[in-house]
Amino acid sequence: GYEGSTDVIVYGVPAEMVADEVVGPRGFSYADPATSAMPVLVSRYFIDLFNLGLAEGQGLPKLSDRAVVGRRFDLFLGRSLLQLDDRPDRAPKVPCEIVGLTQNPSLLGLVAPIEYVRRFNRWYHGAKADEKYVQVHVVLVSPEDRQTVAEHLETWGFQVEGERERGQRLRLLVNGAAVILLLFGLAVLAMAGVIIVNTFALIMQERRGEIGLLRAVGATRGEAMGLLLAESALVGLAGGIVGSGFASVAARVGNEALAQWLPSLPIAPDRWLYESVLLLAFCVALAAWGSALSAAPMLWRSVRRWPADLLRES
């Protein structure tokens, strides 16, 4: 079998708050810890993290809801792996039984009936320990009342945190990451433009005779410029088709592989890598236009020169 230990926070909540998430036969009621195991809920996000990280990396069996509910373990009060205020001589063992999983992101730890937590605090801090609450959960009858209730709570000194606030913070992080990736992409695009300019500068040095001959047989500057721009655009178009096609195939293969390798997570997106025909077409067009625009200054400087000078230098 497998055995492990970790530090964990225990939240005490009223039974009504998690009644819909309790599935074990033990229920979520208080009983003497000396005669009955303490019922607890475990955060579903911990199960997802275990399946995605430790189980995948160490080759351990993954956990399902059925495999978790009903399992028992021991909780040692006052003992920590970090040995912060550790009291090995005062660490009673509390048997626990998992009676369900909670999806509440505010309860990342163990969730136990509040009567147990009150008893543990009295044991740990003494009989005169103050009863402190770290969170207040408010259930709204109508979502339309949220703003009004939040304003009242803030006037009382509470810091409101709900799905919307967590979503806004997550959105801010995602937007920040997107901006960083965008700046990185623009830097790569600028470097590609510089490389294209240098490449066409070398090409024009080698093809001065061809440009001079083209001008000598009657081609105007505009005609020569258009022909050379079309050539550079075709080079960019070919590169865009190859690069974008490879990226599209890699994204599709990556999505299929990730869908098979990664477990199903409630917070996971439907597709990890974005696929779109419009994006593919945009990348191809951008490659063609970028190649033509990057080469335009060098081409224009070459076609402006006298044909005789170009032929003589070649």
Answer yes or no: do 281 and 176 share one domain.
yes
Alpha carbon distance 308, 128 (integer Å): 102
Pick from 121, 137, 153: which residue ends a domain? 137
Exposure string (b/e) for 246-268, b if CB count within 10 Å is 16 or more?
A: eebeebeeebeeeeeeeeeeeee
**In a domain? residue 146:** no
Answer yes or no: do 130 and 196 share one domain.
no
Alpha carbon distance 253, 178 (integer Å): 23
**pTM recorded for the entire structure:** 0.48
**Sheet architecture: strand order including 110-113:** 10-13, 110-113, 38-43, 93-102, 72-76
Answer yes or no: do 119 and 168 share one domain.
no
**In a domain? residue 113:** yes
Alpha carbon distance 67, 70 (integer Å): 8
Answer yes or no: do 107 and 219 share one domain.
no
**In a domain? residue 149:** no
Run of H or E residues at 110: strand 110-113
Answer yes or no: do 14 and 83 share one domain.
yes
**DSSP classification of residue 314:** -
**In a domain? residue 156:** no
**In a domain? residue 238:** yes
**In a domain? residue 72:** yes
Alpha carbon distance 231, 196 (integer Å): 13
What tens digit of pLDDT does each residue of 135-172 get?
777 777 777 777 788 778 778 877 776 666 666 666 77
Domain count, the chain: 2
Answer yes or no: do 41 and 100 share one domain.
yes
The confidence score (pLDDT) of residue 267 equals: 54
What residue numbers bound the domain in which 277 lies? 164-313
Residue with tokens 């021991």: 74
First CA to last CA across the chain, in angstroms?
A: 80
Pick from 137, 152, 183: which residue ends a domain? 137
Answer yes or no: do 125 and 226 share one domain.
no
Answer yes or no: do 115 and 19 share one domain.
yes
Alpha carbon distance 119, 122 (integer Å): 5
Closest CA to 152 of 134, 170, 167, 140: 140
**In a domain? residue 98:** yes
The confidence score (pLDDT) of residue 81 equals: 65
- For β-strands 110-113 and 10-13, DSSP reports them as parallel
Longest CA span, the chain: 105
**In a domain? residue 110:** yes
Residue-wise DSSP of 187-199 = HHHHHHHHHHHHH
**Which ranges of the chain have pLDDT less than 50?**
none
Answer yes or no: do 118 and 203 share one domain.
no
- HEC per residue, 38-104: EEEEEEHHHHHHHHHHHHHHHCCCCCCHHHHCCCEEEEECCCCCCCCCCCHHHCCEEEEEEEEEECC
